[in-house]
Structure 1
Amino acid sequence: MSPQKKPPEWIWQQSSWPNMHWDSHALAASLREVTQLQGSLLGKAGVIAEESSAKSNLDALLQNIVQSSAIEGEVVNAESVRSSLAKRLGLEEAGLSAETEKTEGLAELLLDATQNYAAPLTLQRLLQWHCYLFPEKDESEFKLESVKVGQLRGDEPMQVVSGPHHKRTVHFQAPARVGLETQLNTFLTWLAESEQDQSLDPILRAAQAHFWFVTLHPFDDGNGRLARAISDYALAQAEHQAIRFYAMAASIMENRNGYYAILEATQKGDCDITAWMQWFLETFKHTLQTALTRIDFVLLKTRYWQTHAQKGLNPQQVKVLNRLLDAGPEGFEGKLNAKKYMGIAGVAKATATRHLQELLEKKCITKLDGGGRSTRYDINWPK
């Protein structure tokens, strides 16, 4: 008798790989909801002021970079990242930390992925993205000598494992190095051609691209961050705009364990990736809901200043009101009182009392219950 053939252990060992499929009916409700949220976000974002739009874009890009690194257990300096982004976006951001080779590379990568979405993702461009992750001049962190920067991984097996050597668990094993160039070229060709595929929903295309690339695991390190950048690239192509108002990496970071669990479960299955698609849609839905809440708040602040901008407020009053507005509808802890006004505006008690009374008369703020030393104030939000 001939020995029985060992059944495939990994999705890429399936005979039908990489022809992945999913249950469209099972995804229909989630996909419809996500599409509606995406349309609502883009519609609302289109009416906010240019200055607010630029700041929202910067904030979303910043969160994407910081959180995508955090998913891999890497901490980057958020202020340095912000400075690198602001410089490239032509925004003036005072008082930021100096840029580093690392943050410059991270900013360059994400902006190339989201702003140059019309250009095809070639192997050369992908290798450049990998170089952005591991700048040669970066001396701010310890770098493993084994990482082949800007090159595909070596011949040694690529595995993700945990536990002691005698009881280790293999969570993931990538395809063999032999034939990797062919598999990667197949992926890049599909990514280029699928943009015009009317039968493939653009959001599901982004989800498929993310899973396909991270399964190939073509580099020694940085595969997860590049997979998320490829998702952003595909979503930018779907939206036909470079401005970002959401950070999906932040939502993934909130459920980091779930992210790794669904990737592992799907990579150990057959070519039905319905479960991964559903997870991606639910995570994207959370991302869009968070972004909508933020955009709604930006619009609320815009309406507030449309109501009060012509009331002759002095610079100290504007500064305090902006601090209150930035704290959101919940307000900052303890609300506003004369002492806090003095600290924020840098004025004497008598001046703070007079300024607060003027703001009340002009209906910029409202007095909360209580009196005397316990008097508290909050923003008089537009109805």
Structure 2
Amino acid sequence: MEIHQWIWQHRDWPDFSFNAAPLLTYIATASQLIGELAAISRSISDQERRGALERVLSDDAIETAAIEGEILRRSSVRSSIRKRIGLPVEQKDWDDLADGLVAMLFDARDQDPKPLTTERLFGWHAALFPTGYSGLKKIRVAKYRGAEEMQIVSGPIGRETIHYIAPPQSQIQAEMDVFLNWVNTNDDHNPLLKAGIAHLWFIMIHPFDDGNGRVGRAITDYIMSKNYPTLMQVISFSKHFSLDRKGYYAVLEKAGKQDCNITAWLKWFLQTTIAALREAQWIVDGVITKTKFWQLHQDTPLNRRQTKVINRLLDAGDTLEGAMTTRKYAGMTNCSKVTASRDLSDLLDKKILQKTAAGGRSTSYEICLPGL
């Protein structure tokens, strides 16, 4: 009887298998959503597409970093993105870490079907760690990890829980050669399944000292971009990985301790993909509404505070917690309540805001979208 502790020690590694039946419904739902999104995306203008891309990539960069415990400033991320897509940079807030991550995300989503190579992965890794350090720790940048055992652990020192041990350094080059050849040549699977298999496979190899999660999620983007280039302008997978971070780590840990049947992982991956696709539809609808709104009000005189708050309301849609109030407005724009009240009254007069139907102790407002 074979005894193994980790997936890569199984005799079938890396010949993954899965049960198709429980996945078919998810594949069908995702495929339908992809078709709908592709049709909508083809109909929107370049301006609307750039607006969607800015928003999606901002979320993607911030959330893929947050999964690994790294906090990026949204203003820095947006500055880097806007510079790359030809939009004016409203606030110069440069950060090398944010710019490196954004550079990797753009390259992963590049519609030029260049193969995924060792050199390309090393370039991504170097972009993530421009100083050669991860926090205070010096790491091997643009190189596979060294001879130290790669353990994924949690808990206090001396009482750590080992969640996974990756293949030894002596196997990495051979493992990655097989992996990259598969990514570049295998067309046996539905692209959604291929993206899910590739993500898990790369994470199980865990070839770098640090940054494996971010690179692994970029590989997902790369495979999806090759098959659905239009879709990748409007969708973020990393945001939804982050929203279910606990589930993400739990299903990866479980897969790492089992045999090569990865049905449970693929089910989670497809469910998360569906959630990302549904939000992408919401984002595209919001971007179209925002564009039409500003076309309608392009000659309406507004100050910078008013423009900022309107954009915030348009971007948030129905996700903003509560309606706009004088207090919220003052907090968002760093102005006095007297100034906030004056600005809001002006927006009410110009029919940009309207009072909400709900009563309460203070007047509240919502965006006015007649016919949009």
**Aligning the two structures, in what range does the TM-score lie when normalised by the shorter sequence?**
0.7 to 0.9
Paired residues for 1:201-240 under 5 Å: 201-240=190-229
Separation (CA, whole Å) in 1 of partners of 2:233 and 2:179: 25
Given that 2:75 and 2:91 are in contact with CA atoms closer than 8 Å, whether structure 1 keeps it comes out as: no
Counterpart of 1:179 in 2: which secondary structure? helix
Correspondence 1:142 to 2:131: no
Code of the aligned partner of 1:54 = R
Can you list the C-alpha shifts for 1:229-284, whole angstroms capped at 9, x where unaligned? 10010111110348521211111111111111100101111110000000000111
Distance 1:116 1:152, change over 3 A: farther
Distance 1:315 1:231, change over 3 A: same
Separation (CA, whole Å) in 2 of partners of 1:290 and 1:40: 13
Same amino acid, percent of matched pairs: 35
Counterpart of 1:178 in 2: which secondary structure? helix
Aligned to 1:245: 234
Correspondence 1:7 to 2:38: no
Deviates more, 1:206-215 or 1:237-246: 237-246
Structure 1 residue 334: deviation in Å? 4.6
Separation (CA, whole Å) in 2 of partners of 1:215 and 1:125: 19
Correspondence 1:27 to 2:26: no
Structure 1 residue 50: deviation in Å? 2.1
Given that 2:198 and 2:220 are in contact with CA atoms closer than 8 Å, whether structure 1 keeps it comes out as: yes
For structure 1, the 5+ residue unaligned runs are none
Separation (CA, whole Å) in 1 of partners of 2:358 and 2:61: 45
TM-score (norm 1): 0.83
Aligned to 1:96: 92
Separation (CA, whole Å) in 2 of partners of 1:107 and 1:237: 19
Aligned to 1:269: 258
Structure whose CA Rg is larger:
1
Paired residues for 1:1-383 under 5 Å: 7-100=3-96, 102-136=97-131, 142-145=135-138, 147-164=139-156, 167-194=159-186, 197=187, 199-241=188-230, 244-304=233-293, 308-309=296-297, 313-315=300-302, 319=307, 324-329=313-318, 333-335=322-324, 356-357=348-349, 359-360=350-351, 366=354, 368=356, 378-383=366-371
Separation (CA, whole Å) in 1 of partners of 2:246 and 2:364: 42
Separation (CA, whole Å) in 2 of partners of 1:368 and 1:121: 52
Structure 1 residue 75: deviation in Å? 1.5
Given that 1:115 and 1:241 are in contact with CA atoms closer than 8 Å, whether structure 2 keeps it comes out as: no
Given that 1:303 and 1:382 are in contact with CA atoms closer than 8 Å, whether structure 2 keeps it comes out as: no
TM-score (norm 2): 0.85
Separation (CA, whole Å) in 2 of partners of 1:109 and 1:370: 46
Give the length in aligned residue pairs. Answer: 365
Code of the aligned partner of 1:284 = T
Counterpart of 2:163 in 1: which secondary structure? strand
Counterpart of 1:170 in 2: which secondary structure? strand
Distance 1:186 1:377, change over 3 A: closer
Structure 1 residue 76: deviation in Å? 2.1
Structure 1 residue 159: deviation in Å? 1.1
Given that 2:286 and 2:315 are in contact with CA atoms closer than 8 Å, whether structure 1 keeps it comes out as: no
Structure 1 residue 82: deviation in Å? 1.8
RMSD of Structure 2 on Structure 1 (CA):
3.4
Given that 2:68 and 2:213 are in contact with CA atoms closer than 8 Å, whether structure 1 keeps it comes out as: yes
Structure 1 residue 186: deviation in Å? 0.4
Separation (CA, whole Å) in 2 of partners of 1:23 and 1:202: 16
Separation (CA, whole Å) in 2 of partners of 1:326 and 1:309: 16
Separation (CA, whole Å) in 2 of partners of 1:348 and 1:269: 58
